[in-house]
Structure formats: structure tokens, C-alpha cells
Amino acid sequence: MLGGIFFNSDFMIKYYLGILISLLFLNYSFAKDINIKENIDLSFKCELEKKIIKNSEYNYQVFLAEELDKKNLNKFEIKSQQPETLDINGLSSFLSKSVKLSVKVVNKDVVLFKAIDNNSSYSESGIIDRKTGELIHEITKNIKSENSEKDITFYSCSEKEKV
């Protein structure tokens, strides 16, 4: 009788699907949003490469640096202190003022960060590859709306010497 249950294909599909869903939720609940493995004090000069805009006028339209009014970043700074301090300055006023970054990851390869406003309607996030200097900065507006807007900006950064 028991063998008939386990060899029933409908039962097995539901059984494996249940296990898979359980594992996904378990994995999600153990995900770390704060993982600072290194103390760093870095300063970068970043050159704007391109920007992708998604809004009511543009649907993920790509603009090259020469087509934009936006400037390069002359002083983009990242400071981290284990176990959970991360400060981002020079990328935007929102991130510079944001005491509560919701995601902070620092390791030998990347720095990843994200901040969301109190109303959960605006967010900024970024990731910089410490080896190549590639920086991606994403701004999302009207998060809760069907008409959310995104600006994704790409920079090429080089580390500046401390003076």
C-alpha cells in the first residue's frame, strides 16, 4: 500500500514541489543583507559611460555619456568598518545622507549597497567591482506604482590616491 503512494507520479510531483518550495523559503530567510568582511577607506574618480532610463517616455532607452547633462564623479568615497558600518559619499545626496542602508556587502571583490526611503517609494542601490572599477548605480522611483521609473547609470572608476 505504501509503495503505491510513492510510485504515484502525481503524489511524487507534489512531494518534490513541496520540498523545493520549502527550501526556497528557508534559503530566503537565512539570506544576509549585511555582510562586511573588510575595513576599507577608498576614494574613486568615476567617468560616466552610459545611462539607461525607463519611464513613461523611455522604455529602457540607452543614452551615452555625451548625450547626457550628468557629470562624472570626481570624489566617490566608500568607507566600511566591520561588522556592519558602511558609508557611501559622492554618488548621490540620498545615499550620502542615508544612515540606514538596508543592504551592505563588502568583500575583496565587490561593494554592494541599497537604501530605501521611509515610504518605500524610492530606492537607490549600487555595486562596484573593486578589481575592474565598474560601478552601476540604480535609482527607482514610485516603487509601489505600476508606472515605476528607473535610472541605471554605468561608470568606469579608478581609485584615487589618499592625500
Q: In sequence order, what are the beta bridge partners of 18?
A: none
The upper half-sphere exposure of residue 70, i.e. CA atoms within 13 Å in the direction of its Cβ, equals 21
Cβ neighbors of 101 (< 8 A, separation 6 or more) are 86, 88, 95, 113, 114, 115
Is the pLDDT score of 133 beyond 60? yes
> Any idea of the CA torsion for 137, 140, 141, 146, to the nearest 10 degrees?
160
Q: In sequence order, what are the beta bridge partners of 135?
A: 128, 155
Question: Where does the chain show beta strands of DSSP type E?
Answer: 34-36, 40-54, 61-64, 73-81, 85-89, 103-106, 110-116, 122-129, 134-141, 149-159
Look up residue 51 and give its three cell numbers.
545611462
Mean pLDDT computed over every residue of the chain: 83
Q: What is the pLDDT of residues 57-69, one digit of tens each?
A: 999 999 999 999 8
% of the chain residues with pLDDT over 70: 78
Is the pLDDT score of 140 beyond 90? yes
Instruction: Scan for cell 510510485, then name that residue.
Output: 7
Check: pTM over 0.95? Answer yes or no.
no
Q: What is the pLDDT of residue 1?
A: 44
Mean pLDDT of the region 113-134: 92
Q: What is the pLDDT of residues 13-35, one digit of tens each?
A: 655 555 555 544 444 334 467 88
